[in-house]
Chains A and B, each alone.
Chain A
Amino acid sequence: MRRFLESLVERFWRVSGRTLRPTGSGKLLLVLALAVGFAAMNTGNNLLFFGWGLVLSAIVISGILSESTLRAATPVPLPADEARARSRGTLPVMLENTRGVPAFGVAVSYVFGEGQQTERSGESFELRLSPGARRTTQVPWTPSHRGLLPISSLRVATAAPFGFFAKERVVDGVRLPFGLRDVLVLPERIDTRALGRSLWARLGESPAGHAGNGDELFSLRPFKEGDDPRRIAWRRTAKTGRVVVRENEATRSRQLIVTLRVGGGASPDDVEDGVATAASLIEDLLDDGHAVGVSAPGVVIAPARSLRQRHACLRALALWSPTSTPTPPDAFAGAARIIIPVGAASTADADVVVTPLQRPSRVVAR
């Protein structure tokens, strides 16, 4: 019976697009209203009817004014900056007062997902929104996990004017502008800068196979007009009696492929550690100016160095799931393979094996 009533109430509020709950003082006020009403009717005290009327009318007018505030304030989500899992960030939202009266005490929040997977952001608060005003505000949010989170709704809430009831208006996600209906949450950030530099130091640069500005000797050739006299190989010149110059071999930066490989016995936390490690490593290596790509089941991105490459790799890892179909081995000749094994994954073809680092949130949780 209780469940039936609760479902009825939920259905009512869902249809009306509103939620309403009394605050602590609101509950007290309701009890007071009942008690005073009972006392007034029992004693016939006319002045108690005045007081009772005051309480009842305050409740009704509070409802009218809060509804007016909710209707006036229209939220529109704005393109979000980079959101990282488990990192405190903000989501921009534009709040507009579409009516001719000011709105007071308006709070906006995002709701992501549905049902059991629902996640809610913090609230941004506007003390006053003038008629016709448009204000961009930041909603605090700490995403719980990576991925493409659909915005199921925006919630505009107010407890104005008296703070007895918290009323909320639901702006359905399907009514939001396209392109702004999802928020991409990138994998959790781990500081892998030191790791990246040590990896680069190990893997270093590779010979290019032609003359250039490297340090290694490539060939000796006869001196030509215009050659730098400091490059003359004097010993060979003395030996052969002909002036020869040293040519060094050119080097090229090695391309790197960060490979995420999942084997048996990997727990979801281990997988997330692996993803976070891979994403952070890619980010740091790209920041250091190296050409990096990513490979994982269902994901292959050739090495490159650009901002777009960073976005593409991080996005791919944000959306990646262990159930993705395996991809045929990639063919990036000359690229160094950095394998991040999760569980009992094979690392035979690795140039370097990087053990997944624990995410900060996992460390804190422990």
Chain B
Amino acid sequence: MTREERGLGLPLGLAHELGLAASLLAATLIVLLGGEFPAWMWLSLVAPPLSLALRERGVVVPAVSGTLLALFSVGAGVTLLLRGGLDVAVFAGGATLLGLLVARTLTRRTLDHDQQALLLSLILVFAGSVLNVGVSYIIVFVAFAVTAVWAMATRQLLAGADAAGMSIARARGRTDVITPLFFAASAGVSLAVLAAAALIFVSFPRIGFGELNFLGRRASQLPTSVGFGGNPRGLGTSTAVVARAAGVGDDSFNAGLYLRGAVYDAITLDAFEQTAPATDRAEPIDRRPMVTSLSRGGAELDYELTTTPMAGTLVMTLGYTTAAVPLSGGASNPNRSAQVGGRDRHDQLRTLSPIASPFRYRVRGRVAVVSQVPPPSPRVAALSEEDRARYVAVKDEDAAIRAVVNEALVGAAPDATHEQRAALLRTYLLKRFVYSLDGEVAGRDAPLRAFIVDVRRGHCELFAGAYALMLRMAGVPARVVGGFQGGAQTDDGSVVFQLRHAHAWVEWWQDGVGWVTDDATPNATAPRERLGPFDALIERIRVFWDDRVLDFAMEDQQSALRKVTNKLRGKHLGTMARGAFAGSIVIGLVVLLARRLRHARRSASRGDELARHIVAAAERLAGDGPARETETVRELTERHPHPTLRDATALYERIRYGGENVDDAIVRATIKALAALNKRT
């Protein structure tokens, strides 16, 4: 390597490897952060740094291993597609791409392989736009853009050197290419690419042709069966947002909000389950205000909910609902919104097709207050015999549990109302049982029995299952509801429900009143949570992401355009436009004039310099003293014909009189040739 090639920067080969590894990592992370893939697939993050380390040490992974891995990935993808149909097309494709990328990353040897890996990673990023719709997408996307620009630029330099026959090892070792200036230039290019991408995002009209549901995310994540032996669903610190409620008021929030999810009608000693699908009853699709059999307990108000696509066609609400109007979102195409189709057997609203994006809707109804029983109303529909039988059925009659129920109902009159019995049972649970996440009943036969009779320590699912079973044994129709409880309040008063707020509670039936929301879990009365400053900021970012990015539709584009034009109109658009037009013309003329002047000055000086050399050369050739003062360059040349003089004169005339912009290098070469002329040539 020459001294010139040795600089203070990073070796070109190492710079390329680092950039490539980083971009492949970013692409892999984009899809994994979507949460669609199983945990073991996170191992694929090892591939890029491992490949970098192997390359630096000169270790080559046999190509056959990559081929096998690629074949396995393709096979797995095809299997997923055949099993799941088009609904999982993107998921299957993403899994296949991930496998192919890992295979290519580990077995790459040439720059062409690196290019293939980069292109695969780009396609994976596109798949990530469906598999990961969280805020993390844009953060990792930016990282990918920056590192991919770097990787492609360095790769191209090496490829060009290779194609031109330069020693690739020498090119890799060059340290004068990757300098701080190169870093800065690469960062600048990345920013320009991102800015242009953002501009295209904002300005390109959203002209979606329709719904293509097979590119949607998977639907309902609400389980149809919850076992008592496992960990509760809300365990952990997952802050992934499930829903946001606005306009519910501080009173309702402080009383405790219950966001209704899945309803479970069967309770056994092992689990509570949904035996009859929620939508098997053929209800007419009716978007008019509807009467439901939910209790009218609680404040009635209009509030807004935004739910993420995790509940299939279920429209979650906070209680008895009279009407629901979709506002935006819900469909995979932001230009459309989901349509509320009707209600199901559990008095829950349903959309016509699974919710595929954050769905915002306005609800008119009552926000249920736990354990509050309102006065009876004739408008409440009666419980059918079939439903009554379902909701009092005790599948596993147990004497020990019966004894506990009897103990709890000591002092109750034989004709006690459902409310009275529920109150007694609730009080018994709150006083005699302890909330615990220790999982002491896990692994035991009939965990619900162990909880009620023996352990008496457990989490909300056990409390809800126990309460519902005991109510049924007391002759009160009851069911378990799984959803989200409490939430956290933000600065602007809205309430955020996160995965960690998952909860289970009970609804029991009171004739004439309807289903009453009740909760016997001690933890349910914990002080209300308010988001801290950092969490509030994260929440604002998420809201911005959901509303302004994911839900950005043509309507929003038109609205933005209207705002801009209204502002300009208010500020005398015509005058401004005329002023801007005139200003741009003036600026343009000034720039043109300056360039002409500079060019002319430059032409004159270069032309004069060339003329001096022509004259000097002619004088040397002639050897008869200096040229006559009145003689032009052309005349002088014609007196002393020499091809070099003739051509130099032609060049001089092109510059001086023709105004031609000849490269400086050509002028210098001409002057050099003139200088070499002497009498002997």
Contacts and interface: CB of A to CB of B under 8 A. Distances in A.
Contacts of B549: 46-47
A46 B164 contact: no
A25 B149 CA distance: 15
Contacts of A94: 665
A61 B208 contact: no
B192 interface: yes
Contacts of A177: 666, 669-670, 673
Q: Which 8 A-B pairs have the closest CB atoms?
A: A44-B208, A57-B196, A125-B164, A53-B197, A47-B129, A44-B333, A53-B200, A178-B647
Interface in B202-254: 204, 206-210, 212, 215
A230 interface: no
Given A98-B663, A104-B177, A127-B177, A42 B133 contact: no
B130 A45 contact: yes
B660 to A, nearest CB: 9
A180 B669 contact: yes
B140 to A, nearest CB: 12
Contacts of A52: 200
B122 A32 contact: yes
B165 A140 contact: yes
B153 A49 contact: no
Chain A interface size, as a band, is 35 or more
A207 to B, nearest CB: 39
Interface of A: 25, 28-29, 32, 36, 39, 41-58, 60-61, 65, 74, 76, 94, 96, 98, 102, 104-105, 107, 122-125, 127-128, 134, 140, 158-163, 175-180
A159 B165 contact: no
B161 interface: yes
A102 B181 contact: yes
Interface of B: 12, 115, 119, 122-123, 125-126, 128-130, 133, 137-138, 141, 145, 149, 152-153, 155-157, 159-161, 163-166, 171, 174, 176-177, 181-182, 185, 189, 192-201, 204, 206-210, 212, 215, 332-336, 549-553, 643-644, 647-648, 651, 662-666, 669-670, 673
Contacts of A102: 181-182, 185
Of A29, A58, A124, A134, most buried by chain B (CB within 10 Å of CB) is A58
Contact of B156 (A51, A128, A160): A160
Contact of B145 (A25, A54, A127, A161): A54
Contacts of B647: 178-179
15 contacts: A44-B206, A44-B335, A46-B549, A47-B137, A48-B130, A57-B195, A61-B192, A74-B665, A102-B182, A104-B153, A122-B165, A162-B152, A178-B644, A178-B648, A178-B670
A127 B196 contact: no
A176 B666 contact: yes
A163 B197 CA distance: 20
A105 to B, nearest CB: 5
Given A74-B665, A161-B149, 7 more contacts: A43-B208, A46-B206, A46-B549, A53-B200, A94-B665, A158-B160, A161-B153
Given A32-B123, A125-B164, A53 B198 contact: yes
B671 to A, nearest CB: 10
B643 A42 contact: no
Contacts of B651: 178
A212 B209 CA distance: 107
B129 A51 contact: yes
Contacts of B12: 127
A191 B517 CA distance: 106
Contact of B209 (A42, A46, A48, A175): A42
Contacts of B335: 44
A127 B161 contact: yes
B22 to A, nearest CB: 16
A42 B156 contact: no
A135 to B, nearest CB: 9
Nearest to A162: B152
Nearest to A131: B181
A74 B663 contact: yes
A48 B126 contact: yes
Given A25-B119, A52-B200, A96 B157 contact: no
A102 B186 CA distance: 12
B353 to A, nearest CB: 14
Given A36-B126, A104-B177, A28 B155 contact: no
A153 to B, nearest CB: 14
Given A45-B332, A76-B663, A94-B665, A128 B176 contact: yes
A211 B647 CA distance: 55
B15 to A, nearest CB: 12
B149 to A, nearest CB: 8
Nearest to A96: B665
Given A32-B122, A140-B165, A76 B160 contact: no
Contact of A42 (B212, B550, B551): B212
A134 to B, nearest CB: 8
Given A105-B160, A127-B171, A163-B156, A65 B550 contact: no
A123 B193 contact: no
